[in-house]
Amino acid sequence: MDIPYTVHARPDTGLYNAKVGIWLFLASEVMLFGGLFSSYIFLRVGADYPWPVHELNVTLGCINTVVLIASSVSVVWAWAALKMRQFGLYKGLMLFTVLCAVTFMVNKTFEYKAKFEHYAVKLTDGTILTGHLPHGYQIKFGEVNQLAMSIPLKTAAVGADPINYVLNHLDAGATPRFKTEDGKEITLDAATFAELKSAAIEKAKVAKQNTAGLKLTAVSPLSFTVGESDVFAYDASTMTFRDGTVAYGKLADDKMTIEVDGVDTRGVAVKEKSLAFDHRYLGEAWQKAFVANRDHLTVEFDKNYPTRDKTKSATFQKEAYFLHLESTTPPAAEGHGNGHGAEAHAPAAHGDGHGGHHPTVVLEKKDITFFSNFTPKLNTYYAIYFTLTGLHGLHVVAGALVLAYFLFFNGKMMREDPEHLANRVEVGGLFWHFVDLVWIFLFPLLYLL
């Protein structure tokens, strides 16, 4: 059975059916993105932090805009070529469109990756340090002589599982030799743990307890290196792993090493007294660089805009109070280029686009209130950024798949019923133009304004 009105228009609507279909779909898509743009406005108006402007990679965003515009031209041109029966030109233009979509997604991947690897650390006084964590954030816990586990007899969310939650954080080279409560010496592995566990459960059942306890004493002291998300809690002498196992030992190091590429003091009451310029951290030299940069920009601003209020200029606030660090040591007092320090650290390769070296700072745990990479967890801007661009990216992929299908699998239709294929391309193209149209709003809203 043939689907009616795929080629010629239905008399009452004056349209072939697929076109009515795609417009109904696009109408619902407009409402979907409209809802998200509306939430963007709400989040931006309600933000309790300076909304990021020019914080994303504008060059990549610009390239992607041009790529999408070019593909929009090529898809509508491909449709016209098919109408004129220029099959070679049609195929070339469709291929170009699909390649544009691939380019767009590759660029997007680079952008996302840079954000995943970049961190923001909020200090107790409101300063935000941005930079890279070369080893992630790790807690070192040493001199561990005892592990205490509890095994619930009834179903529970957490039950001791030291093989998967504790031993994999053991520092390299150590063997997990332990003494059990009855003095037997064992190497802890899956088999011995299962044995110990069933014995402990038997004992607890006899004693009519709800949980079985298990204590292992280390034969020689052990040390662990654990990511921040792998522990529930820790203090100077105990560390609770995610399976509830408690290790008794000594906290060796819970400092965060960060290669600082930015100091945002906009949330600090007295900007130049920011904790970042403490002698333990960036120190006086960077503080001087910060003050010099601020004073220079203040003079510039007063000269250029004598009637305007500095506190109301988001740009001034950002440039004067958000210092970008582009060398390991501060640039010379007068110049504001990036004079590279003599004692440059080993270059750290990070795909952030900034390049260069950054000073390394070791932060104490007590000074940190919050840290995150540049993902939805960080703030509402990144939440809406990833939601909007993620959904838009899915549309790019879907559109590219449809257009690629027309190109690679509809060869027979092209030769035998080109008018039908032209209608398909027109419908696919309408969707593609819509994807471009959404990006036309996304690019300025997220990258520029």
Partner 1 sequence: MSDHVDPAELQKHVKKYIFIGLLLIFFTAVTVALSYVELPTHSLNIIVGMIVATFKAALVALIFMHLNHERPLIYKVLAFTAVFCFVLFVLFVMANSDPLVDHGFEKPLQSIEQATP
Residues of this chain that bind partner 1 (CB under 8 A): 7-9, 13-15, 19-20, 23-24, 27-28, 30-31, 34-35, 37-38, 41-42, 45, 53-54, 58, 62, 65-66, 69-70, 72-73, 76-77, 80-81, 83-84, 304-305, 308, 312-315, 419, 426, 429-430, 433-434, 436-437, 440-441, 443-444, 448-449
Name the amino acid, one letter, at 331: P
What is the H or E stretch that residue 145 is in?
strand 138-152
| Smallest distance, partner 1 to C-beta of residue 404, A | 20
Nearer to partner 1 among residue 143 and residue 419 (C-beta): 419
Count of CA atoms in the C-beta half-sphere (13 A) of 391: 15
Nearer to partner 1 among residue 119 and residue 439 (C-beta): 439
- Three-state secondary-structure class, residue 348: coil
With beta carbons less than 8 A apart as the criterion, state whether 412 and 351 touch: no
Nearer to partner 1 among residue 287 and residue 423 (C-beta): 423
| Smallest distance, partner 1 to C-beta of residue 409, A | 24
Closest to 324 in 3D by CA, of 346, 365, 294? 294
Nearer to partner 1 among residue 180 and residue 380 (C-beta): 380
Nearer to partner 1 among residue 10 and residue 340 (C-beta): 10
| Smallest distance, partner 1 to C-beta of residue 66, A | 6
Q: CB within 8 A of 6, min separation 6: which ones?
A: 16, 17, 18, 420, 423
Residue 36's Cα: distance from chain center in Å?
A: 20
| Smallest distance, partner 1 to C-beta of residue 346, A | 35
Nearer to partner 1 among residue 308 and residue 377 (C-beta): 308
| Smallest distance, partner 1 to C-beta of residue 128, A | 20
With beta carbons less than 8 A apart as the criterion, state whether 115 and 373 touch: yes
Count of beta carbons in the 10 Å neighbourhood of residue 187: 11
Q: The tokens of 174 are what?
A: 């150590």
Cα four-point dihedral sign 266, 270, 271, 273 = negative
| Smallest distance, partner 1 to C-beta of residue 375, A | 25
Q: The tokens of 157 are what?
A: 């969310």
Nearer to partner 1 among residue 235 and residue 309 (C-beta): 309
| Smallest distance, partner 1 to C-beta of residue 411, A | 22
Nearer to partner 1 among residue 382 and residue 439 (C-beta): 439
Nearer to partner 1 among residue 23 and residue 408 (C-beta): 23
| Smallest distance, partner 1 to C-beta of residue 426, A | 7
- Cα–Cα dist 196/192, whole Å: 6
Nearer to partner 1 among residue 72 and residue 274 (C-beta): 72
Pairing of strands 360-363, 256-264: antiparallel
| Smallest distance, partner 1 to C-beta of residue 417, A | 13
- Cα–Cα dist 157/144, whole Å: 26
With beta carbons less than 8 A apart as the criterion, state whether 252 and 141 touch: yes
| Smallest distance, partner 1 to C-beta of residue 354, A | 19
- Cα–Cα dist 392/388, whole Å: 6
Task: Kindly report the length of the chain.
Answer: 449
What is the H or E stretch that residue 215 is in?
strand 211-227
Residue 169 sits at φ, ψ, to 5 deg, of: -100, 0
Ramachandran assignment for 335, one of left (phi > 0), alpha (psi -120 to 50 degrees), beta (any other)? beta
| Smallest distance, partner 1 to C-beta of residue 83, A | 6
Q: Residue ranges of the alpha helices (H) in 5-57?
A: 17-46
- Cα–Cα dist 96/73, whole Å: 10
Nearer to partner 1 among residue 58 and residue 191 (C-beta): 58
